[in-house]
Amino acid sequence: MAKVLIIGAGGVGGVVAHKCALSPVFSEVVLASRTKARCDRIAEEIQRMHGRAIKTASVDADDVAATTALIGAHAPDVVVNVALPYQDLPIMDACLAAGVDYLDTANYEPPDVAKFEYSWQWAYRERYQRAGRMALLGSGFDPGVTNAFCAYARDHLFDTIATVDIVDCNAGSHGHAFATNFNPEINIREVTARGKYWENGKWVEIDPMSISDTFDFPGVGPRKAYLIYHEELESLVLHLPGLQRIRFWMTFGDEYLTHLRVLQNVGMTRIDPVDFQGHKIVPIQFLKALLPDPASLAENYTGKTSIGCIIEGSKNGKPRKVFIYNVCDHHECWKEVRAQAVSYTTGVPAAVGAEMIVTGKWRKPGVWHMENFDAVPFLERLGAAGLPWHVQEL
Ligand code: NDP
C-alpha cells in the first residue's frame, strides 16, 4: 500500500483527499496547505462521511526547504500538487530534493505575467530523468482526461487524426451573479488572455472571445462556446501525428461575460500592483478576496458539466468522427464528496493519475504528459472512480 501527500486544500484538494482516502491503493493520505484549518475541515468531513482518517499539515509551498522537510517527514510515494500554478516549480524542486514522484493539474505560470506555457516545467526533464523520478503534468480534466481521450483515440479509434475540438461546458447554476468555478485569479487570467489555436503547423492568435460556435453537449443540449487558449493544446500538438488543427472551446453565460467585461474595463482584473492608500495591492488578488470561494459554491450547485473531445480523422481508409465525453452532475458530487463538479472532475483524475504512478502502470523517469502513456488503464479506473466516459460515433 502506498502513501500520498496532497498539497493544496481548496475545492480540488478536498476532492483529491476524499478520493485518495477511498482508494484501494493508498493506505496513508496527508493533506497539507498554507492554511491548516482548511485541511482539518476536510479531514473531519472524510472521517464523518467515510470513516477514514487522514493526516493534515501546514506548509508554504513557495518555500522549497519547508516542502522538502514536509516530504521527508511523511515519506510519501507521490506528491499531488493541487495548490496554485505559481507553486509548480518550487514543489517540483522539493520533490527532486526529497526523491519522490510529482503530479499536478495546471502548468506553471509566473505570478507577474499571465502566460501559460510548459517551457519552465519541460526544463526539469533531464533532472527528473537523472534522479530516476517522474513528474506527470496536467492530470486534471482539461488538461488531463481530455489528453487521455486524445491518446485513446490515437491508439485505438483512428489510423490518423486530422482535427480535435475540445469542448467544455458547465451548464450548472450556483445562484451567484458572478463567481468562478476554480481559483478566481487563475480562472480570470485564463479567460481574459488572447485566444489561440493551432492549424497546419502554426499557432493562430485571436482577440479574447472573438470566435464562438454552438455545440450539442451530451446531457446538456446546444450551448454557445467560445474559442480560448488552453494549455493541453501545447503538448497535444506534439503527440498526435498528422494532426491538422486543434482548438479549445468553453461555454460562458451572458451574465458571466457581462460581469467580466465590466471588471476588466474598470481595471479590477489587472495583475500588476497599484498604489492604494499607501499600500501596493494587485487588483485581481483583491477581487479574489471579494468573490465566493469556489469550494463554497458546491452545496447549492445544480446542473451538469459536459466535457469532451470531438475528433475527426480516418480508420481503415474511411472517414470517422467521434465524440468522447463525460457528463458530471454538480449535486451528485456534493452528495458524494461535498464538492461541485468542476472541482470533482479535476480532483478525481488527479487521484487516479497518482494511482497510475504508484502502481507502476504509468511509471518512467522524466517529465511527462498524460498522452505519453497508454490511456486504457487510466480510463478504466476513471469510470470506476466516478467519471464514466462514453464514445459516440458522429
Ligand atoms: P483554490 O483557490 O480553491 O485552492 C488552492 C489551495 O492552494 C488553497 O488551499 C490555498 O491555500 C493553497 N495554496 C495557495 N498558495 C499556497 C502556498 N504557497 N502553499 C501552500 N498552499 C497554497 O483552487 P482550486 O482548488 O479551485 O484549484 C486548484 C488547482 O487546480 C489550481 O492550480 C487550478 O488551476 C487547477 N485546476 C485544474 C483544472 C483541470 O481540469 N486541469 C480545473 C480546475 C482547476 P489557502 O487556503 O491558504 O489560500
Tens-digit pLDDT profile for residues 138-196: 999 999 999 999 999 999 999 999 999 999 999 999 989 899 888 877 888 788 889 99
Distance from residue 371's CA to the centre of ligand 1 (Å): 24
Instruction: For residues 13 and 89, state if they share a domain.
Output: yes
Q: The C-alpha cell of 355 is what?
A: 494511482
Instruction: For residues 128 and 153, state if they share a domain.
Output: no
| Mean pLDDT, range 299-317, rounded to an integer | 97
Residue nearest to atom 23 of ligand 1 (CA): 183
pLDDT at 113 over 80: no
Dihedral class, residue 381 (left if φ above 0, else alpha if ψ from -120 to 50, else beta): alpha
Instruction: For residues 105 and 200, state if they share a domain.
Output: no
Q: Is 60 in the pocket of ligand 1 (CB under 6 A)?
A: yes
Q: Hey, how many other C-beta atoms are within 10 angstroms of the C-beta on 327? A: 20
Q: Is residue 226 part of a domain?
A: yes
Residues 21 and 47 sit within 8 Å (Cβ to Cβ) = no
- The pLDDT of residue 83: 97
- The pLDDT of residue 160: 97
Q: Is residue 389 part of a domain?
A: no
pLDDT at 115 over 80: no
Q: Is 347 in the pocket of ligand 1 (CB under 6 A)?
A: no
Q: Which atom of ligand 1 is nearest to the CA of 293?
A: 3
Average per-residue pLDDT for the chain: 95
Q: How many structural domains does the chain have?
A: 2
b/e string for 159-186 if b means 16 or more Cβ within 10 A?
A: eebbbbbbbbbbbbebeeebbbbbbbbb
Q: Is 14 in the pocket of ligand 1 (CB under 6 A)?
A: no
Kindly report the CATH number assigned to the domain that includes residue 49. Answer: 3.40.50.720
Q: Is 38 in the pocket of ligand 1 (CB under 6 A)?
A: yes
CA proximity to 260, closest of 250, 271, 268: 268
| Mean pLDDT, range 301-326, rounded to an integer | 97
Q: Is residue 394 part of a domain?
A: no
Position 262, amino acid: V
pTM: 0.95
Instruction: For residues 168 and 278, state if they share a domain.
Output: yes
Quickly list H helices, 159-212: 184-192
SS3 content of the chain, % helix, strand, coil (to 5): 40, 30, 30
Q: Which range marks the domain in which residue 56 is found?
A: 2-141+346-378
- For the ranges 41-45, 110-114, 337-341, 373-377, the lowest mean pLDDT is seen at 110-114
Q: Is residue 172 part of a domain?
A: yes
Q: Is residue 288 part of a domain?
A: yes
Residues 155 and 374 sit within 8 Å (Cβ to Cβ) = yes
Ligand 1, pocket-test mutation among 346, 371, 382, 387, most atoms within 8 A of CB: 346
Q: Is 295 in the pocket of ligand 1 (CB under 6 A)?
A: yes
